[in-house]
Amino acid sequence: MWKGRFQQSTDKLLSEFSESISFDWRLYSHDIEGSIAHSKALLAAGIVTASEQKAIETGLRQIGADIDAGKFQFDPALEDVHMNIEAELTRRIGPAGAKLHTARSRNDQVALDLRLYLRAETDAIGAHVRGLQRSLVDLASRNSEVVIPGYTHLQRAQPVLLAHHLLAYVEMLDRDAARLADLRKRIDVMPLGSGAIAGSTIVLDRALIARELGFAALSQNSIDAVSDRDFACEILFAVAMIGLHLSRLGEEIVIWASSEFGLVIIPDAFATGSSLMPQKKNPDAAELTRGKTGRLYGNLVALLTTLKGLPLAYNRDMQEDKEPVFDSVDTIKAALAVNAAMVSQLEINASRAAISVGDPMLLATDLADYLVRAGVPFRQAHEIIGKLVAQCIETGRGFSQLDLAAFQSFSPLFGQDVFEVLDLRRALEARQAPGAPSPANVRAQLERWRKELAAEG
């Protein structure tokens, strides 16, 4: 394509080193879509005739159909998806195909293709996020009465409804969905017409192209348009955050499925056994999700590092944007899909949860609150209950095993109603502030999420 300037052919080593068709072929449908829109702008500008534009569009659609059917042979010697399609188009329809590249560069062409690809994939990832949210809400709804110990520092802290715990992940994923929706606005900017760096003296109707491709806005600076990969970094960050949330969920599933906790039973279809130990049932889906998050972080850092020292405008280094983007998109869609399927089939061990939540120390803070309501400053109440806890541990007794005199030996403000505080259900029902895990609050949140996710379709 640059034979007019060069007197030597590209060295085979450089050709192999610089080709991108081995991975950017997957942009073919977006490249074809963008080229058809570009051909219509060329027609409007009088660069091609109506019959030539029709031949271009028909030829491109036929090439797309051949690629879909696996009948198209990509040629590494032509470097990338753009030249492979353009060369084949010219071979099929003749000189009209050679006119297609008028007033555009591979620089704005690849920027367009990547935006079209990521616009579609952002929507697809968002749909997968909603799917996992639905699975979590369904699991929470099926186990709405189950109470578990809430943990801090992986130590038992206070009692919470399992549904409240699961809805915490629904909230995380909702922020992920919001991030995807927000960054999509910055993807949805049409760069074609920016040329290599400075546009073209052949002025095309860029608004026409944007309408054809469904873009909401036009890029306003040709240099920025071809050198901008912020949108790719943004989606890699958003995907890394989803990976973070999935990894935390995966870690908890691994812990909960252990014999020591025994709170969940993972379906056989989402676990594996051991090649040596017949009794083993390993939570591979959760563990792999946790492990793949490292790849998502690595892809983000790789692209940020590639871009950090580049002068304006386009540099060949930017070819390195696609593999991390493709890998992260594929990885997160697979992770979301497998987790949604696994969560939908998780079985909660309610009897084990009941044993765990029977730990009387879970209500220590409630006893401190009892004293606060009686007029004791919280720090003093905290100390009193701390001493009570220490004695219970030393004597091997729980709060419910103490009589009123034992309580009053720590504070005369304890009355007979202190035993009401030790009722687990009453303790949960007392947590009525917005966002707290009272049964009424949790029921309302479950209903809210069911309605919102149903509206999302």
* Active site amino acids: 153, 274
What string of H, E and C letters represents the secondary structure of the chain? CCCCCCCCCCCHHHHHHHCCHHHHHHHHHHHHHHHHHHHHHHHHCCCCCHHHHHHHHHHHHHHHHHHHCCCCCCCHHHCCHHHHHHHHHHHHHCHHHHCCCCCCCHHHHHHHHHHHHHHHHHHHHHHHHHHHHHHHHHHHHHCCCCEEEEEECCEEEEEEEHHHHHHHHHHHHHHHHHHHHHHHHHHCEECCCCCCCCCCCCCCCHHHHHHHHCCCEECCCHHHHHHCCHHHHHHHHHHHHHHHHHHHHHHHHHHHHCCCCCCEECCHHHCECCCCCCCCCECHHHHHHHHHHHHHHHHHHHHHHHHCCCCCCCCHHHHHHHHHHHHHHHHHHHHHHHHHHHHHCCEECHHHHHHHCCCHHHHHHHHHHHHHHCCCCHHHHHHHHHHHHHHHHHHCCCHHHCCHHHHHCCCCCCCCCHHHHCCHHHHHHCCCCCCCCCHHHHHHHHHHHHHHHHHHC
Q: How far apart are CA 252 and CA 283, in angstroms?
A: 11
Read off φ and ψ for residue 259, nearest 5 degrees. Answer: -60, -30
Paired tokens of 124: 């697809």
The residue with tokens 């027609």 is 43
Which residues make Cβ contacts (< 8 Å) with residue 1, sequence separation at least 6? 83
Sign of CA dihedral 243, 238, 124, 36: negative
User: 89 to each of 19, 53, 84, 209, how far by Cα in Å?
Assistant: 20, 12, 9, 20
